[in-house]
């Protein structure tokens, strides 16, 4: 097992891992979504008039459609399809009338899911100076020689790594840095559970850490992989001797050891 993975597992199993991790990923749900007053007035009018097509068209303009249904994304992307699919329209509107206006409003104003808020939190944590230095913009990063962390979007980081470090994947990066003259690139993931989308996130990070580039690669993983379990994710990180898989909470120690 990789030394840094071992340290991360020990931290997770023996110390206040989740309490400490909250400083990196403070996943506090956002407040309810704002509903446009004019749009909502149109919803009420269409609902009272039982005008199915208008009701559906207006609700599809909302940030969040009040019903989870496999067909709504298609209707949203092709509004003309509403007039061509009366049975689908009637089915959805039947559910809306059953819900009532109060419930529709409640569902349209639901807060964003926590998982959708996680992405920017790692970079926000870096911007506190927790690694001993503040991230700097690309121009300064390129022209400096000392320890530095790049402050850029995922895409800009990917482009820098492609142009300068031999990175070949069309996947944005969460972390590009230089410590003791060594470049470091990686992805950061907070894996809140096993299965589904979380597996895809895990695989993205592992693909990056296995990249053949002119830099040290890291998979900055946190969450369930450090639990003692027979899950594939847990077994995978324990079998990676060569690859640097670690918690964000040991990242600083790793960087200054380079």
Residues 13, 60, single domain; the answer is no
Residue 99 phi/psi, 5-degree rounding, is: -65, -45
Total number of domains in the chain: 2
Residues 146, 49, single domain; the answer is no
pLDDT score, position 117: 57
List the domain range (segments joined by +) for residue 85: 37-108
> What is the C-alpha to C-alpha distance for residues 157 and 147, in angstroms, rounded to an integer?
17
Residues 200, 248, single domain; the answer is yes
Residues 60, 181, single domain; the answer is no
* Residue (of 158, 149, 138) closest to 204 by Cα position: 158
Residues 21, 47, single domain; the answer is no
185 found inside a domain? yes
Q: pLDDT at residue 115 above 60?
A: no
Residues 67, 130, single domain; the answer is no
DSSP the chain: --HHHHHHHHHHHHS-HHHHHTTT---PPP-PPP--HHHHHHHHHHHHHT-HHHHHHHHTTSSS-SS--TTHHHHHH-TTHHHH-HHHHHHHHHHHHHH-HHHHHHHHTPPPPHHHHSTTHHHHHHTTTTTSS--B-HHHHHH--SSEEB---HHHHHHHHHHHH----SS--SEEEEETTEEEEEEEEEE-SSSTHHHHHHHHHHHHHT---SSEEEEEEEEGGGS---SHHHHHHHT-SSSEEE-GGGHHHHHHT-
Residues 73, 136, single domain; the answer is no
Residues 147, 214, single domain; the answer is yes
166 found inside a domain? yes
pLDDT score, position 211: 93
Residues 232, 201, single domain; the answer is yes
Residues 146, 199, single domain; the answer is yes
Q: Which residue has the higher pLDDT, 98 or 76?
A: 98
Of the residues 78, 108, 138, the one at which a domain ends: 108
86 found inside a domain? yes
pLDDT score, position 194: 86
> What is the C-alpha to C-alpha distance for residues 191 and 165, in angstroms, rounded to an integer?
27
Which residues are 187's β-sheet partners? Answer: 219
Mean pLDDT of the chain: 91
Of the residues 88, 108, 128, the one at which a domain ends: 108
Per-residue pLDDT, averaged over 88-113, amounts to 91
Structure tokens at 75: 């209707």
171 found inside a domain? yes
191 found inside a domain? yes
Residues 199, 221, single domain; the answer is yes
Instruction: Quick: pLDDT tens for 141-197.
Output: 999 999 999 999 999 999 999 999 999 999 899 999 999 999 999 999 998 888 878
11 found inside a domain? yes
Instruction: Quick: pLDDT tens for 46-76.
Output: 999 999 999 999 999 998 999 988 899 889 8
32 found inside a domain? no
Residues 135, 219, single domain; the answer is yes
Of the residues 74, 108, 142, the one at which a domain ends: 108
Structure tokens at 216: 């040290």
243 found inside a domain? yes
């Amino acid at each position: 097992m990789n030394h840094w993975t071992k340290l991360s597992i020990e931290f997770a199993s023996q110390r206040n891992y989740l309490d400490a991790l909250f400083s990196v990923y403070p996943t506090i749900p956002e407040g309810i979504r704002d509903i446009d007053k004019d749009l909502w007035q149109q919803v009420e009018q269409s609902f009272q008039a039982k005008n199915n097509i208008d009701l559906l068209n207006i609700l599809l303009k909302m940030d969040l459609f009040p019903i989870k249904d496999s067909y709504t994304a298609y209707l949203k992307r092709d509004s003309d399809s509403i007039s061509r699919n009366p049975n689908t329209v009637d089915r959805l509107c039947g559910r809306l009338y059953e819900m009532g206006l109060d419930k529709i409003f409640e569902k349209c104003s639901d807060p964003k899911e926590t998982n959708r808020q996680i992405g920017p939190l790692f970079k926000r944590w870096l911007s506190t100076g927790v690694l001993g230095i503040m991230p700097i913009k690309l121009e300064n990063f390129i022209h400096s020689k000392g320890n530095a962390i790049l402050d850029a979007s995922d895409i800009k980081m990917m482009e820098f790594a492609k142009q300068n470090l031999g990175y070949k994947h069309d996947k944005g990066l969460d972390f590009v840095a230089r410590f003791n003259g060594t470049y470091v690139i990686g992805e950061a993931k907070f894996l809140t559970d096993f299965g589904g989308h979380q597996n895809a996130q895990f695989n993205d990070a592992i693909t990056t850490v296995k990249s053949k580039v002119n830099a040290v690669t890291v998979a900055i993983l946190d969450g369930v992989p450090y639990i003692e379990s027979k899950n594939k994710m847990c077994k995978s990180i324990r079998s990676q001797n060569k690859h640097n898989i670690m918690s964000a909470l040991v990242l600083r120690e790793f960087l200054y050891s380079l």
